[in-house]
Amino acid sequence: MRRGLDLADMMAAQEPLAALDVVAAEAHAADGPDERVSPLAPSRRGRKALTVHVDLQTHVRLKVMAARELTTLEALVSEALDLLFAKRSA
């Protein structure tokens, strides 16, 4: 079974979102009734996005820190949250 839409499918559909629903329904039927189809990468499943607004200087400092440590902003923020939870839970 084919997954995803190509440009021709999207152009042919009168309602592009309806075309996506059809593909999702086909994938769901192929996977079986107990499995959900998710557009998220496997590493993102079961996780929630967290958006924060910081000033430019803070953002640059975090990006530089992540680059120096060969890690990601997500990893740095996760570490910071772990430390915060440990401090506040004590």
DSSP string, 34-67: T----SS-GGGTT---------HHHHHHHHHHHH
DSSP, collapsed to helix, strand or coil, labels residue 20 as helix
pTM for the model: 0.53
CA pair distance 22, 19, nearest whole angstrom: 5
Chain-centroid distance of CA 33 in Å reads 24
Pick from 3, 2, 24, 22: nearest CA to 12 = 22
Q: What is the pLDDT along the chain (90 residues), one digit of tens a residue?
A: 555 656 566 556 555 555 556 656 666 555 555 556 667 888 888 889 999 999 999 999 999 999 999 999 999 999 999 999 999 986
